[in-house]
Structure 1
């Protein structure tokens, strides 16, 4: 006899809901199994499962497309239940994974995402080598408060439109610092772009430069800071000690937490610091 055919549960529904929601948060695979056998579980667990969406592989894109075709799932997106969206571009994929409002293929994915207004976004855009420049003034980005860009500085120093992110309070930008020492021209471009962002993003509280592949993060920090006209304590340097790991919503929270701590230290009078994550 299935769960649906059984009589009322032995535990009160509110207790069951607590148990199922806790399970969904600590073990995603068990949660996926639960939603297959119980409509109660699906109703309680779906909002948790869809809160964090990571689009990394072609198979993930196919599953995502299949899921959003259902009426119930469409309501989740319209209700803005997706709060963390991680997007990876896979140039070899037959299905474009640059999930972006301006993309035309696949149309259903573009339409679904264009209805979203995320507040937290971690994104790896196609590089400028693919001729891609994000249009940051699109409605999709209008409610962003936390933005983590995984592209290297070669890309984001060539982009325009950061000033249109009027609600942005936290920004993280990847900097691949190899080879050592960092090229002076690259350091100058980074500093110029960051200075523009700090000067034109009115709500910005924290701007993180996340250093990757650098054996001497302090040397890299100094090489970039050398081009600053004036010190801005909103600028934080972090070093990723495991640059090959995937970045997900949990990792992003670590970045913001570390950045806030570093900024507090700098505001208390400490000189610019570099903190490992």
Structure 2
């Protein structure tokens, strides 16, 4: 007598939880589960598209072909998209236009003259896209400079690479009006939703840590009109964190990280939101590991800011409590003497 299928008596909801848990933990298992039956494939296949990493031209072409075989809405399952292949640009454009529900986008291809990549097709939309919320412009993406037209206007978390020679290659398009802004930091004013900024930075004589910290302080300062409901044009975004990831030799990394963090602690106030750390050996690998594990690139730095702010608040409170109320004490003594 044949034994009944072990899962046959379990409710579908429980089966779904079991299969999803196994699939999320291991992509190889997920692919194997899609071969078990059509109904399991219907459940599991979208998980295979949750995080997509395209590192080569063949992988890029294969993904384009896969999307063409699926219903158009299937591309909405892609939540984390990393494109590190250099081309072909037509395929990159196709993928970006198809995957309109991406939360985190990592770009490893050149962004020079690619502003049209973030423009939606006229037949599908008549306004700028509101995706992704997180964007990483890594390596070659910033080599020749870039403009915020290549960045989602709704982006809240942005990471960019800074050049070692700011006068040779400016990564940003325009400076703040009326300021000497060689790097054009002011272009970030168009990103009003931006709360987290990360810069991958290599210390150099042309752009030392002191100059970088001064520029970052300008970005992190509170807005002049905090009570305004609507931001004015060219107004800075409300940054909650600026993360500096320092690259270079171990000795220079350590010195730069210590200097930047010391400057932030000494300045206090809004400058406490500037946090420096050693850059990962590979920013692309860090991005992929973060989206797969659920631990964001910003998590450790957010903890540092929280700790700094708490310590500064405790010091202020301690200072208030230790201040003697001279006037009140003197008044009491005088009154006691009279009576």
Same structural fold, with TM-score higher than 0.5 when normalized by the shorter chain: yes
**1:35–1:42 Cα contact (<8 Å) kept:** yes
Q: Give 1:262's aligned residue.
A: 304
Cα 1:146–1:46 change in 2 (3 A) is farther
Measured against aligned partners, the alpha-carbon deviations of 1:137-181 in whole angstroms (never above 9, x if no partner) come to 45x6123222233x344489622332222222222221234xxxx
Correspondence 1:248 to 2:287? yes
Cα 1:218–1:124 change in 2 (3 A) is closer
The DSSP-based 3-state class of the residue aligned with 1:141 is: coil
Cα 1:157–1:262 change in 2 (3 A) is farther
Cα 1:31–1:205 change in 2 (3 A) is same
Correspondence 1:121 to 2:135? yes
Q: Give 1:112's aligned residue.
A: 98
**What is the Cα deviation at residue 255 of structure 1?**
2.7
Correspondence 1:134 to 2:149? no
The DSSP-based 3-state class of the residue aligned with 1:233 is: helix
**What is the Cα deviation at residue 190 of structure 1?**
3.2
**What is the Cα deviation at residue 241 of structure 1?**
5.7
Q: Give 1:166's aligned residue.
A: 192
**What is the Cα deviation at residue 70 of structure 1?**
2.8
Q: Give 1:148's aligned residue.
A: 159
Measured against aligned partners, the alpha-carbon deviations of 1:54-100 in whole angstroms (never above 9, x if no partner) come to 2222232122212221333x3133x4x4332223254xxxx33xxxx
The DSSP-based 3-state class of the residue aligned with 2:18 is: helix
- Partners of 2:199 and 2:298 in 1: how far apart? 12
Cα 1:106–1:211 change in 2 (3 A) is closer
**2:257–2:278 Cα contact (<8 Å) kept:** no
Q: Give 1:239's aligned residue.
A: 278
Measured against aligned partners, the alpha-carbon deviations of 1:77-133 in whole angstroms (never above 9, x if no partner) come to 3x4x4332223254xxxx33xxxxxx555552353254571222333263555x4x3
- Partners of 1:141 and 1:51 in 2: how far apart? 20
Cα 1:223–1:233 change in 2 (3 A) is closer
Give the alignment's TM-score, normalised by structure 2.
0.59
Q: Give 1:26's aligned residue.
A: 25
- Segment drifting more, 240-249 vs 201-210: 240-249
| Counterpart among 79, 85, 103 of residue 81 in structure 2 | 85
- Partners of 1:143 and 1:125 in 2: how far apart? 22
Unaligned regions of 5+ residues in structure 1, if any? 1-5, 97-102, 271-277
If asked which structure has higher relative contact order (CA below 8 Å, sep 6+), I would say: 1
- Partners of 1:84 and 1:202 in 2: how far apart? 24
Q: Give 2:322's aligned residue.
A: none
Measured against aligned partners, the alpha-carbon deviations of 1:186-212 in whole angstroms (never above 9, x if no partner) come to 435533553454355423211110122
Correspondence 1:221 to 2:243? no
- Partners of 1:171 and 1:244 in 2: how far apart? 15
Q: Between Structure 1 and Structure 2, how many residues are aligned?
A: 243
- Partners of 1:259 and 1:75 in 2: how far apart? 36
**1:176–1:214 Cα contact (<8 Å) kept:** no
**1:146–1:170 Cα contact (<8 Å) kept:** yes
Q: Give 1:209's aligned residue.
A: 244
Q: Give 1:176's aligned residue.
A: 202
The DSSP-based 3-state class of the residue aligned with 2:41 is: helix
Cα 1:197–1:36 change in 2 (3 A) is farther
- Partners of 2:306 and 2:68 in 1: how far apart? 46
**1:104–1:110 Cα contact (<8 Å) kept:** no
